[in-house]
Structure 1
Amino acid sequence: MKRFSLGLLVLMVFFISCKQLGNTRDIGCVKVDSNGGIISLRLDNEIIPLTAYTMLAGCRQISEVYQDNLNEDKVLYTRFFEDSLGNRCSVTDQYTAIPNGLLWNVEIRGEGKAWTTPVETVLKYPICNETRCWTSWSDCLEDKWVDPLNPRTFQDKEYVYGGKDIWDTNTISLPLFSILEKSKNIGITLLESPADTILDMSLKTSVNGEVVFKRDNYKISNENSIRLQMHLVLHNAEWKGGVNYLVNNYPNFFEPKNKEVFNVAGGGAYSAWEGEIDIEKLRKMNFSFNWRAGFDFPYMGLFLPKVNSTTERWERFHQHGVKVGDGYSSAGEMESYMHRMREDGFHVLCYFNITEVGNHIVYPIPPRFAKKDEDLWRKPNDFVYYTDVKNALVKVDEENGDSPLYSNWEGCVVVDPADPFYKKHLLEQVERHINYLPSSSGFCIDRLDWLRYYNLKGDDQVSWKNNRHSRFLLLSWKEAMKELGTLMHQYNKVIFANVLYSRIDVMEYLDAIYDEYGQLPYSLNRSALLTLKKPLVAWTVSSDDFKPNPDDYFQRHLYLGAFLTVPYPGNDHTILPDESIETYYEDYGAMFSELKGRRWVLFPETFKLEEGDAKVNLFETDSTFVMPIVMGKSDDVIVALNRTLSDFTDCRLLYPEGRVQSIQPINNTEKLYFKIHLERKCALLIFNKCQ
């Protein structure tokens, strides 16, 4: 028989003496039972037997439930748990009534040495044949695009928040799950705050209506508390209801810090080309910026060396051994190119990366090359092994000794951006970019896929990996970006990123996404749901990506509000000039230009496809509402617009090849109806806002 430790006994005695045993209680629209779990949801006169509770996997409850009635709208329930090894903790669920729902806070405090077990939020719902559900899924069918906005029936599926890797198609990018009853116009969403410290998390659903959010690798000890904040909210029976609540309550993750990004974003390129360009043709294709792929830097992680003047030159990196220009660069030459692009009406984003360093790094550790410390930066192996960068090298496996973790690009290695020395090194480079490159519009940061890893050399006081302390690199990203992002935005620079780890909590200091795998349907889907209020630009590798139907490819991007990579001279592993496909870019260029500055309209019941078969979405810009009607299976459709959006001066239709046609609505007391003829299966309905 196990004995309770003195610390746990003292804590339990405190709860017994200060709080009453649990009893059933109504809190706003929910009923909580004596064990501290939700047992029903009340909507008007209807009682829905929805249940929800907190579980610790592999643990048993070893106490009564202690209740603290803070006020009529806020109640605490505390329980004590133990696992099979005798590790113990307390779990407190705090429920607070809010308009149209419930705020649900969970706190877990350990007792004694550190341990871990999955922390689960379980919801069970009595589904029927008409019940549908929605989450931010990205999955598609054998590389065939599937509309991510469509609700589905409950399935036996498991989704990973952010994905196990780049290729994982069973991914969610927003931490929420919605249940939709169309016949009753009822929606119920369970979501977790993106401001929480979320480590590894998955969402598991079943055909019987059970939903489980499972969180792994939390450190449970008497040194720290695990705190989670969830919302259970009621809304109408649209997928947008829960998402709109999430966006409105956590705008820091959805709104760009620098609105200048709406001027920068548009058709993109990833090119080292500095020669002549066809300016008018690029404008017709909606080209807006080049993510500079010139590899002006000496090696990964040193993107602008500490030089004495803007004319001092250094040897630039030769990717695959290929020399660009004469093989050298300077801050002055970089600025000259960016200034020319600005004069042509285009923008340039500098390459940046905060998780990789060096090139052709050797292991075992080679002898030092530099004679003087001030020259250690000139050779990547010197910089990695003979400066304090060595302390930032990420360790993920105890068995690999002091070997670094290698990237799959040109022999560079992975670093922890929260390491004090390396973070200072990054911030110094940001300052040099600001001072030396005024014509640069900002950065595009590459390779966030490393943020999935745990650095066993670090300690974030939150994670527990391989039975030891560690530092989750996503938390390192957050720490570094708080300073780096603030500095960039202070000087009106924008920050794009090639995220590759698609979860909303990476987005707080990012202004836009440039998705290197955006040509893949599932990657496009997950990035689209991360950029509801920010620009998205998607990669296109070659003209093969448009097969079998180029119109469908362009219209899919219009529907999700995503700009495309434009055929551009010198594009690196993305689409090069090709007359056979450039015709399509010019045909759709004006339509994509109307998406400049777009944000998704998430208000409930704003529009409806009344007749016909097509995909319909709605965006707004500062001056317009823009409705893509795409991939039509009928020649004509009727769209109804809610009168709450009727404050516009005029409206028009825009078709491929740039044809414009005015249109007038059919008035109704509650809605405005538009009968629209489609050309090449699509049209863009544009409303000019009253100013």
Structure 2
Amino acid sequence: MKTLRYITWGILPVLLGTVISCGNNKDFKVKTSNLEIAFNANGSIESASLQNGQILRKITGHSTLKGCQTVKVQASQLPDGGVTFVKTLLDTLNNNELQLTETFTPTANSIRWEVLIEDDAASWTTPIETLFKYPAAGNVTHWLPWADPRGDISNGGTDNALIANAILNSGDLDDFTSWADPLVTLPLADNKWHYGAPRYEYQNPGILYCPFQGDVISIPMLSFFEEDKDLGLSLVLSPEDLLLDIDLVTSKSGDIRFSRYNHRLGEGREIKFAMDIIAHPSDWRSSLEWVVDRYEGFFHPVNSLAREMGGTGAYSNSDVAFDVEKMKKMAFRVNWRAAFDFPYLGMYIPPVEQDEEWMGFIRQRNLGKITRKPSSIPLMNAYCKKMDDHGFFVLSYFNVTEFGTQIEYPRPESTRKTGEPLWKNSNDLLYEKFEDAMLFVPEAQKPVLDKGIYSARPGLPFWTWEKAVAMDPGVKSFQEFLVEQARRQIEALPNAYGICIDRMDWTRMYNHRTDDGVSWMGDQPVGSGYVSWNKIMDRLHPIFHENNKVIFVNNHVKRIEQLKYVDGIFDEFTYAGSSLNAIALLGNQKPVLGWISNDQQLLPDSDEVMQKYLYLGVFPMAPFPGNDHSIRPSELADKVYLDYGPLFNQLRGREWVLEPHVIAVTSGEARVNLFKTFDSYAVPVTYAKGSAPVEITLRKKELIKEGLVAKVFYPGEATPALISPEVVNGELKIKLPTKRNCAVVKIYLP
């Protein structure tokens, strides 16, 4: 540590107040409207006073760097009622001193916890940890935005290595697609959770990553509850920070640890993180509500037009005639077009004259011959217009992490003829314009061999489908190309409503041939795919949003900060319970559409399948002609979707209502949720048991009115039933029978 650090401490009294020696800071406290936190002599949290001082809990908490020891602490009171602790840490491995400052300040409804790390040593990295403990007791439960509350495979969850092998070997995925309700609190447990996806490691690269894994959280937060006291306390990491890889470890004792990996320390850098400690009622809705309100830009669509697109969807390459009214009965709204009418990945609108044709991407086999379908800008836009005229939306295919087809490495000799456009051959364009953006397998990674789709040999590119290569959208040369492609989408396809970006799984990776200035892996500077995603979205989103278009994503990696400029989700793996849960929680204020691969995934009980989508407000893919690796029309599929389509139609425009204790089943047994729609509220009643009516109690103030009109929609019944809610003791009561264990109640405001 440089002498300048000690001089800085010397002027702290002028800037912040009186410097307190480490032995005299036991009386430091920070107080907000419903929470007071006290600190000990080491600058760590030692207790919390809640519910206006009526309840005291011996919570503890502090941040540190793994492998470092605290050797000195100085504290100062801040004018705004906060406190700051300046800690000198010793890196015991390298015998280097660095500085960690933790500042706690009151906000209107939380205590803000900020961490600043300053280090003048050579560049290095170690996990940056935040430790927190809530005292365990028999009545303490917890909740996470978990993909599966059962966690990893040891607790009945899923294992990604087994999943990848099953996919590559055409195995049975049924064992990995089970569903567990994410809207429950559970007793404290020993578990490890990955934020968004398991982190990329050399010896455990997880290249073929599909989001079937249960031990994933989609928002970096954790909530503790004491139901008998209506008491909740949450720790929430800020999605506004630069977030790389994060793991969360929980324990039965109430100890938790957030570990942040691969951040580059040293060379005078300042690394900052922010968190909030929030006191609230004992309902998962209340903690999630705080996060949604505080970080609304990550949860709400930028373009409100996206809400109109809520409905069942398709990923279809078909331009054949179809029964429009039938699809509307199935709640069909949007086709993410899988025509693959672009010449190759990345080149979605080639630089051609308006009427010039080119050959489409996918090679089709017919009687042993490989053919490619011709396409053009007028043909593409004509399809968009036709669907628009029918009242449906078209999203164009887009991808920012893959490029080309039949890419060779090393660079092959060009076969381009004189005067032939460079774009015609993806090898030529790649090596001429943005070879520096290719993503290569690090030398330190172990080889991964499979059927050839995702073989990874150190020193070679990452290849993907149709022998395209993985790309780094953070590299400027490739960014410029993608920005140009985005502008062509706007100009060429005025009748398309926007894009859906595929293959976000590559954002887990690190580019060992670039330097983003903030990431460090394998004792070298690298470029994080998460940083690259932020860079390309900063440039793409204005192009679409300023032209009233939307951006949807197929987000294999489930991280809230990646959705900052995203209007909706169209997830490829929603038939797996873990993926369904993760996107539902991420998209609680955005339209979310989810995959069903084939009609066999509606079995053995199609009612249970449809009801988990209703319960979580996710629209399942519809059986549409020409769907690519997804459900197509069949006798079974058509019947199920015609039965449930009217129920999903009642959820159009839905937004989760997140007020604490706003809805409950007070008689009978069922799973319920509450959504605000365009003109009403919708209550899906699902998984009901027994023949007795279900009583639902609503505490939403806007609904505590006499004379409200409500309709009940049942699967397979064309006409809804009218019911009359009652106001009893300041609550709205709705009592109704279910049919096929299900109903959707629509409550209309006067």
Question: How high is the TM-score relative to the length of structure 2?
Answer: 0.88
Aligned-pair CA distance for 1:13: 4.5
* Match of residue 710, structure 2, among 646, 651, 655: 651
* Match of residue 162, structure 1, among 177, 184, 196: 196
CA distance in structure 2 between the aligned counterparts of 1:585 and 1:401, rounded to whole angstroms: 47
Look up the match of 2:343: 298
* Match of residue 249, structure 2, among 198, 201, 204: 204
Look up the match of 1:441: 497
1:66 and 2:74 correspond:
yes
Q: Decide whether the 8 Å contact of 1:396 with 1:453 is kept in 2.
A: no
Greater displacement, 222-231 / 187-196: 222-231
* Match of residue 410, structure 1, among 463, 466, 482: 466
1:139-162 per-residue CA deviation (whole Å, 9 max, x = no partner) reads 254532100011011111001001
Aligned-pair CA distance for 1:371: 4.2
1:264-283 per-residue CA deviation (whole Å, 9 max, x = no partner) reads 23111111111111111111
1:287 and 2:332 correspond:
yes
Report SS of the residue matched to 1:146. Answer: coil
CA distance in structure 2 between the aligned counterparts of 1:324 and 1:272, rounded to whole angstroms: 18
Aligned-pair CA distance for 1:86: 2.1
1:15 and 2:9 correspond:
yes
Report SS of the residue matched to 1:586. Answer: helix
Look up the match of 1:147: 181
Corresponding letter in the other structure for 2:527: R
1:35-75 per-residue CA deviation (whole Å, 9 max, x = no partner) reads 1111100012221101011021111123x211122215111
1:195-217 per-residue CA deviation (whole Å, 9 max, x = no partner) reads 11010001110111111111100
1:672 and 2:732 correspond:
yes
1:315 and 2:359 correspond:
yes
CA distance in structure 2 between the aligned counterparts of 1:223 and 1:58, rounded to whole angstroms: 20
Aligned-pair CA distance for 1:369: 2.1
Aligned in 2, Cα 1:27/1:489: closer, same or farther, shift over 3 Å? same
Look up the match of 1:531: 587
CA distance in structure 2 between the aligned counterparts of 1:201 and 1:61, rounded to whole angstroms: 23
Report SS of the residue matched to 1:65. Answer: strand
CA distance in structure 2 between the aligned counterparts of 1:161 and 1:320, rounded to whole angstroms: 39
1:30 and 2:8 correspond:
no
Aligned-pair CA distance for 1:416: 1.1
1:349 and 2:405 correspond:
no
Corresponding letter in the other structure for 1:383: L
Look up the match of 1:617: 673
Look up the match of 1:496: 552
CA distance in structure 2 between the aligned counterparts of 1:637 and 1:419, rounded to whole angstroms: 56
CA distance in structure 1 between the aligned counterparts of 2:597 and 2:337, rounded to whole angstroms: 17
Corresponding letter in the other structure for 1:65: V
Aligned in 2, Cα 1:365/1:145: closer, same or farther, shift over 3 Å? same
Corresponding letter in the other structure for 1:118: P
* Match of residue 625, structure 2, among 553, 565, 569: 569
Corresponding letter in the other structure for 1:650: V
1:268-311 per-residue CA deviation (whole Å, 9 max, x = no partner) reads 1111111111111111111111111111111111111011x221
CA distance in structure 1 between the aligned counterparts of 2:46 and 2:244, rounded to whole angstroms: 28
Corresponding letter in the other structure for 1:172: I
Aligned-pair CA distance for 1:221: 1.2
Gaps of 5+ in 2: 13-18, 151-155, 157-174, 199-208, 445-456
Report SS of the residue matched to 2:669. Answer: coil
Q: Decide whether the 8 Å contact of 1:192 with 1:230 is kept in 2.
A: yes
CA distance in structure 1 between the aligned counterparts of 2:370 and 2:259, rounded to whole angstroms: 48
Q: Decide whether the 8 Å contact of 1:606 with 1:645 is kept in 2.
A: no
Q: Decide whether the 8 Å contact of 2:509 with 2:529 is kept in 1.
A: yes
Corresponding letter in the other structure for 2:40: D
Q: Decide whether the 8 Å contact of 2:241 with 2:274 is kept in 1.
A: yes
CA distance in structure 2 between the aligned counterparts of 1:88 and 1:514, rounded to whole angstroms: 48
* Match of residue 640, structure 2, among 584, 592, 598: 584
Corresponding letter in the other structure for 1:353: N
Report SS of the residue matched to 1:632. Answer: strand
1:582-602 per-residue CA deviation (whole Å, 9 max, x = no partner) reads 111001111101111000000
1:77 and 2:121 correspond:
no
* Match of residue 264, structure 2, among 215, 219, 226: 219
Corresponding letter in the other structure for 2:21: L
Report SS of the residue matched to 2:496. Answer: coil
* Match of residue 134, structure 1, among 143, 149, 155: 143
Q: Decide whether the 8 Å contact of 1:352 with 1:444 is kept in 2.
A: yes
1:597 and 2:660 correspond:
no
Q: Decide whether the 8 Å contact of 2:120 with 2:269 is kept in 1.
A: no
> Identity over the aligned pairs, expressed in percent?
34
Aligned-pair CA distance for 1:404: 1.9
CA distance in structure 2 between the aligned counterparts of 1:354 and 1:152, rounded to whole angstroms: 39
1:684 and 2:744 correspond:
yes
CA distance in structure 1 between the aligned counterparts of 2:301 and 2:67, rounded to whole angstroms: 42
Q: Decide whether the 8 Å contact of 1:626 with 1:687 is kept in 2.
A: yes
Aligned in 2, Cα 1:611/1:38: closer, same or farther, shift over 3 Å? same
Corresponding letter in the other structure for 1:48: R
Aligned-pair CA distance for 1:645: 2.9
Aligned-pair CA distance for 1:366: 1.1
* Match of residue 273, structure 1, among 315, 318, 322: 318
1:167-209 per-residue CA deviation (whole Å, 9 max, x = no partner) reads 4221000110000000000000000111110100011101111
Aligned-pair CA distance for 1:666: 2.7
Look up the match of 2:172: none
Gaps of 5+ in 1: none
* Match of residue 301, structure 2, among 243, 251, 256: 256
1:42 and 2:52 correspond:
no
Aligned-pair CA distance for 1:109: 0.9
Q: Decide whether the 8 Å contact of 1:148 with 1:525 is kept in 2.
A: yes
CA distance in structure 1 between the aligned counterparts of 2:365 and 2:565, rounded to whole angstroms: 35
Look up the match of 2:165: none
Aligned-pair CA distance for 1:110: 1.2
Q: Decide whether the 8 Å contact of 2:364 with 2:370 is kept in 1.
A: no
CA distance in structure 2 between the aligned counterparts of 1:372 and 1:55, rounded to whole angstroms: 62
Corresponding letter in the other structure for 2:591: P
CA distance in structure 1 between the aligned counterparts of 2:654 and 2:145, rounded to whole angstroms: 20
Corresponding letter in the other structure for 2:593: V
Question: How high is the TM-score relative to the length of structure 1?
Answer: 0.96
Q: Decide whether the 8 Å contact of 1:21 with 1:66 is kept in 2.
A: yes
Aligned-pair CA distance for 1:462: 1.2
Greater displacement, 644-653 / 376-385: 644-653
CA distance in structure 2 between the aligned counterparts of 1:256 and 1:55, rounded to whole angstroms: 36
Q: Decide whether the 8 Å contact of 2:147 with 2:213 is kept in 1.
A: no
Aligned-pair CA distance for 1:372: 5.2
Aligned-pair CA distance for 1:659: 3.2
Corresponding letter in the other structure for 2:75: Q
CA RMSD of superposed structures (Å): 1.7
1:358-396 per-residue CA deviation (whole Å, 9 max, x = no partner) reads 1111123211222458722111111222x2210111234
Q: Decide whether the 8 Å contact of 2:704 with 2:727 is kept in 1.
A: no
Greater displacement, 317-326 / 470-479: 317-326
